[in-house]
Amino acid sequence: MKANWHGVWAIYRFEMLRARRTFLQSLVAPVITTALYFVVFGAAIGSRMQAVGGVEYGAFIVPGLIMLSLFTQSLSYASFGIYFPKFTGTIYELLSAPLSPFEIVLAYVGAAATKAIVLGSIILATATLFVDVQIMHPGWMVFFLVMTAVTFSLFGFIIGIWATNFEQLQFVPMLIVTPLTFLGGAFYSIDMLPSQWQAFSLFNPAVYLISGFRWSFYGEGDVSIGISIGVALFFLVLCIGVVSWMFRTGYRLKS
């Protein structure tokens, strides 16, 4: 069957226009927050810390800050995008439209990932105003940026379908994803931890994504790049499988 690209573009464009209407919340606020991180961690604290793995602390936290924003904002963009049709009752019109599940997911997840990638790029550009950022492997940097944005947008899409109220919509990002990110080496290397905590940290999936992304900048990571790529791809495939199951069974879509 021929793909309905017109329908995909209509949903994608609507989601992107919604970001323009909430410009301050979508882009300006995260950038200001990131700038404050550099003022506090980079200037106030970083000037008193030794280099981490031969990298100045202010520059060391750049990949972690970008990943923190990607994790939280990708989730937020995608979850709110699909939750509002459920909340307003227009989800039934969406499901009855001449769009396949793949096209619906492509539109919503594509829009959320696009906004997250733009935000990550802006944060990276903002970081260069404060510290000297070097990117040793730009191709892998783009890979992890896009992979993380798409994966967590899919994760957010799952949360948006699962949630039955706004409290549940905020539960996973605030109480699970953000703590895992802070404990995943966003602001430190797990090599700095005691040996037992290093072993415990390896069960945190955020460690592998942050480590792989930091490796693309400075050629150093807490785990090998091959393992980081493998975990990123596994998480992507897992999210695709869950979304496929939701549409196949109609889980919280048709009730």
Question: pLDDT tens-digit profile of 144-153?
Answer: 999 999 999 9
151 belongs to a structural domain: yes
Residue appearing with tokens 């989601």: 15
Q: Shortest CA distance to 80 belongs to which of 169, 209, 199?
A: 169
pLDDT of residue 144: 96
pLDDT of residue 187: 86
SS3 4: coil
pLDDT of residue 159: 95
- Which stretch, 95-99, 179-183, 193-197, has highest mean pLDDT? 95-99
35 belongs to a structural domain: yes
191 belongs to a structural domain: yes
255 belongs to a structural domain: no
pLDDT of residue 177: 87
pLDDT of residue 255: 61
254 belongs to a structural domain: no
pLDDT surpassing 90 at residue 54: no
**Are the C-beta atoms of 217 and 63 separated by less than 8 Å?**
yes
Residue appearing with tokens 């109480």: 175
Mean pLDDT of all residues belonging to the chain: 88
Domains identified in the chain, total number = 1
pLDDT of residue 129: 84
Residue 20 pLDDT class (50, 70, 90 cuts):
confident
245 belongs to a structural domain: yes
Residue 52 pLDDT class (50, 70, 90 cuts):
confident
168 belongs to a structural domain: yes
Q: Shortest CA distance to 119 belongs to which of 97, 99, 92, 148?
A: 148
The boundaries of the domain holding residue 100 are: 5-249
115 belongs to a structural domain: yes
pLDDT of residue 176: 85
